[in-house]
Amino acid sequence: MIRVLGVGDNVCDKYLPAGMIYPGGNALNVAVFSKFMGCDSAYLGTIGDDETGQFLYAILREMGLDISHCRFEQGENGIARVELRDGDRVFLKGNRETRVSRTRPPVLSRVDIRYMESFDLLHTSIYSYMEPELPKMQEAGAFLSMDFSDAYDDAYLKRCCRYIDCAEISCGGMPEDEILETMERIMQYGCREMVIATRGSRGAMVLCKGKLYRQVPCLVKARDTMGAGDSFITSFLVNYLDAVRDATDFPEIVSERVCSKESGEVETGIRTAEGYRDALIRLSLYRAAVFAAQQCRRDGSFGFGKEIGVTEADLRAMKDSLS
């Protein structure tokens, strides 16, 4: 299996009014989900020293995730306040402006870059605030993935896409022609290999080397959709990157047509790197749909919840969401 490093954002999702808190965040989710898949995985980000940060740190230690290059800062860890409505998540006001992962994101050292060189996949996100560090991450030589969620604009894409191999966008109810135009624009801005567009219950699309692929979702009765898109992206990239290095063109003598008297031409199987990559993308999309469906049966992004008190700030956020 490949080695995977999530770089940047972590957050604890606080479910209201139950007062349950669960670890999550895009970059951390990718590290955790890849570990679930059997990868040697790690996370590099900034963790606060408040109650939420201490909870997160304890969970990551319990899981055995490599956090040896994390930063630990005085201040608030990220909190996202969430309400579940019919199994789907609705985000309320969190502490985005004051969380340490935003105010003090990692500044990568030469030691960090050497560490990154040992990984096959580096993944970060628009909520990681790692934009100044993208050239350093590219320097490490691993496949570099970045999730833009639905919070990007054209200037931001131009700024970041030239450094990455894969971009992910969350499209929700976006019209398909607009999705396709955005995917093509991302590739024009320098993204080297592919774009993944997740669409919730409408499935996903991948644009790779000019070819478009589609995948319907594996629909289940969802317990919680938190982290579903992250789990899909993780499964797809892990399956794809773990196998694509085997892609090769067969010698011409092997690729000659074989015929039989009984049935005419006989199918000789995949014989080119392009054909193998095409089949691999389709298989990876299928496995990602199944993996994401399984994650929807968990509480939070990946479980490990804890009951925590409801604060005055929580109550205000709930009240504001109804107004």
- Provide the 3-class DSSP secondary structure of residue 315: helix
Q: pLDDT for 267-296, tens place per residue?
A: 678 989 999 999 999 999 999 999 999 999
Average pLDDT over residues 203-224: 93
| Cα dihedral: 86, 88, 92, 98 (round 10) | 150
- pLDDT (0 to 100) of residue 230: 97
Q: pLDDT for 167-198, tens place per residue?
A: 999 998 899 999 999 999 999 999 999 999 99
DSSP strand E in the chain: where?
A: 3-7, 11-15, 20-24, 40-44, 46-48, 71-73, 79-85, 88-91, 121-125, 143-147, 166-170, 194-198, 204-208, 211-215, 258-260, 264-266, 306-307
Task: Considering only residues 93 and 65, tell me which one the structure prediction assigns the higher pLDDT.
Answer: 65
Average pLDDT over residues 34-43: 98
- pLDDT (0 to 100) of residue 257: 56
- pLDDT (0 to 100) of residue 39: 98
Lowest mean pLDDT among 3-12, 51-60, 207-216, 304-313: 304-313
Average pLDDT over residues 57-77: 97
Whether pLDDT at 232 is above 90: yes
Average pLDDT over residues 76-91: 83
pTM as predicted: 0.93
- pLDDT (0 to 100) of residue 265: 56
The verdict on domain 3-322 having CATH code 3.40.1190.20 is yes
- Residues 19, 25, 28, 31, CA torsion sign: positive
Reported confidence tier of residue 127, pLDDT bands at 50, 70, 90: very high
Mean pLDDT (the chain) is: 93
Q: What does the domain layout of the chain look like in residue ranges?
A: 3-322
Average pLDDT over residues 208-234: 93
Reported confidence tier of residue 42, pLDDT bands at 50, 70, 90: very high
**Angstrom distances, CA of residue 111 to CA of 43, 69, 114:** 15, 9, 5
Q: How far apart are CA 307 and CA 18, in angstroms?
A: 8
- pLDDT (0 to 100) of residue 312: 87
Reported confidence tier of residue 255, pLDDT bands at 50, 70, 90: very low
Q: Which amino acid is at 262?
A: E
